[in-house]
Chain A
Amino acid sequence: TQLLEQSPQFLSIQEGENLTVYCNSSSVFSSLQWYRQEPGEGPVLLVTVVTGGEVKKLKRLTFQFGDARKDSSLHITAAQTGDTGLYLCAGLPSGTYKYIFGTGTRLKVLA
Chain B
Amino acid sequence: DTEVTQTPKHLVMGMTNKKSLKCEQHMGHRAMYWYKQKAKKPPELMFVYSYEKLSINESVPSRFSPECPNSSLLNLHLHALQPEDSALYLCASSYDGLAGITGELFFGEGSRLTVL
Contacts and interface: CB of A to CB of B under 8 A. Distances in A.
B106 A45 contact: yes
A102 B44 CA distance: 10
B16 interface: no
Interface in B1-17: 4, 6
B43 interface: yes
B74 interface: no
Contacts of A33: 103-105
Interface residues of A, number: 27
B103 A92 contact: yes
DSSP majority for the B interface?
A: strand
A50 interface: yes
B41 A42 contact: no
**Looking at chain B, what size class is its interface with the partner chain?**
20 to 34
B110 interface: yes
B109 interface: yes
Contacts, number: 68
Interface in A80-111: 86, 88, 90, 92, 95-99, 101-104, 106
Contacts of B6: 42
Interface stretch (B48-56, B60-68, B78-86): B48-56
A48 interface: yes
A11 interface: no
A104 B101 contact: no
A42 B45 contact: no
Given A42-B90, A97-B31, A97-B56, A104 B105 contact: no
Nearest to B31: A97
A86 B105 CA distance: 16
Contact of A99 (B41, B55, B88, B105): B105
Contacts of A78: none
A49 B54 CA distance: 27
Interface of B: 4, 6, 31, 33, 40-45, 48, 50, 55-56, 88, 90, 92, 94, 96, 100-110, 112
Interface of A: 30-33, 35, 40-45, 48, 50, 86, 88, 90, 92, 95-99, 101-104, 106
